[in-house]
Amino acid sequence: MHKPKLILLRHILVLVAMTGGAACSVQVAPPKPPVSVTVATAALADAPYVVLANGLVEPMQTVAVQSQVGGVLTAVRFKEGDEVKQGDVLLVIDPRPFKAALDQANAAMSRDAAQAANAQRDADRYAALVAKDYVTKSQADQAFANAVAQRSVVESDRAAIDNAKFNLENATVRAPISGKTGALQLRLGNLVKPGANPPLVVINQIHPILVRFTVPDKELPSVLKYAAGKTLKVWATPRGDASTEEGVLSFVDNGVDTTSGTVTLKARFSNERGNLWPGQFVSVKLELYSDPSALLIPNVAVQIGQDGPFVFLVKDGAAEIQAVTPGRLVGELTTILKGLAPGAVVVTDGQSRLTPGAKVEIKAPAANPAAVAPGSGK
């Protein structure tokens, strides 16, 4: 009777021993490694309100140069594409016919002036004689009329001289404005015709230069409000070019395009570097106003959840969810109206691997949005 009990006791002891050994072999799971993230620091900075648009560069002035007289082209005093100043000689048309016409007009003037002077002396003599009844009044009147007619001939000669001078002066074609010349349509020896089409050359004034662009009509009240009594800055960037030109708003159209619902604006640029060319398409930024103390964080830090926008904060090496109220976008940054204070460290990369309370490892020192805030609108 004791033997079965002894066997049972041995089995129990063996089972307890095995259970104890198994318990000793169980290991506690190691803690999760920290999540590697990139962060930025919320900071107060200048936040301009910028309207974006596409623009077209236009010359400040453009002139199609044509000749007012006809003749053979004898000289070209510029090269195509040259910068010229107002009054510079561009072309010379054979002046000899016009010089001959002027000499002829001057000669006719001398002859008729002598005849007019003689007719006036006769009129004066007849006026003295008629007072003494030596000649009839009819004769005196005839002498007076002849003197008046001769004076009219002299005036006609003066007009002919002025016309001849005009033609002679216009045989030398000068630049009517300062600007850059285009292609010359005629060569030496060609016959120039007055008012011919195409023009001899086109000059575009590019210093300064204009950029025409449109904005939605919903922006018009703000444009008019901030343009009143203030110079609004505008930046233009040619496509495919990293350089940006700064100018000022110079024109707001007096009506809204009913087809597109837009308003046409123009900005004036000094264009000293010559980066803007007529007919060029550019990206335009119009700055209406600026908030000097906006709280900014990178756009990528703002996440959208079921309860609305939020960010991941980093506090004491752990992630924490913080609801925020974002404002307007300022380039690659977002203004925060509620939910954050200056100096808060927000996660900008790695949010998809985070959970509340997760340990984090910062890849690099926190970036400061104020250092890259487009305070000038550029």
pLDDT grade for 127, boundaries at 50, 70 and 90: confident
Highest mean pLDDT among 5-14, 102-111, 141-150: 102-111
pLDDT grade for 211, boundaries at 50, 70 and 90: very high
96-170 CATH: 1.10.287
Residues 241-292: tens digit of each pLDDT? 778 999 999 999 999 999 999 999 999 999 999 899 999 999 999 999 988 8
Give the integer Cα–Cα distance in Å for 116 and 89.
40
Hey, where are the domains in the chain?
Answer: 32-66+207-378, 68-93+173-199, 96-170
pLDDT grade for 17, boundaries at 50, 70 and 90: low
Helix (H) or strand (E) holding 340: none
Residue 164 pLDDT exceeds 90: yes
SS3 199: coil
Residue 378 pLDDT exceeds 70: no
Residue 331 pLDDT exceeds 90: no
Yes or no: domain 68-93+173-199 corresponds to CATH 2.40.50.100:
yes
Domain 32-66+207-378, CATH among 1.20.950.20, 3.40.50.300, 1.10.540.10, 2.40.30.170: 2.40.30.170
pLDDT grade for 27, boundaries at 50, 70 and 90: low
Residue 22 pLDDT exceeds 60: no
SS3 169: helix
Burial of 209 (0-12, 13-18, 19+ CB in 10 A): buried
Mean pLDDT confidence for 22-49: 78
Residue 371 pLDDT exceeds 70: no
pLDDT given at position 18: 54
Mean pLDDT confidence for 138-155: 92
Residue 8 pLDDT exceeds 80: no
Chain position carrying tokens 């236009």: 58
Residues in a beta bridge with 345: 41
Determine if the pTM surpasses 0.75: no
pLDDT grade for 28, boundaries at 50, 70 and 90: low
Residue 41 pLDDT exceeds 60: yes
Share of the chain above pLDDT 90, in %: 72
Give one DSSP letter per residue of 284-330, joined into a string.
EEEEEEEEEEEEEEEGGG-EEETTEEEEEEEETTEEEEEE-EEEEEE
- Give the least confident one: 25-29, 227-231, 239-243: 25-29
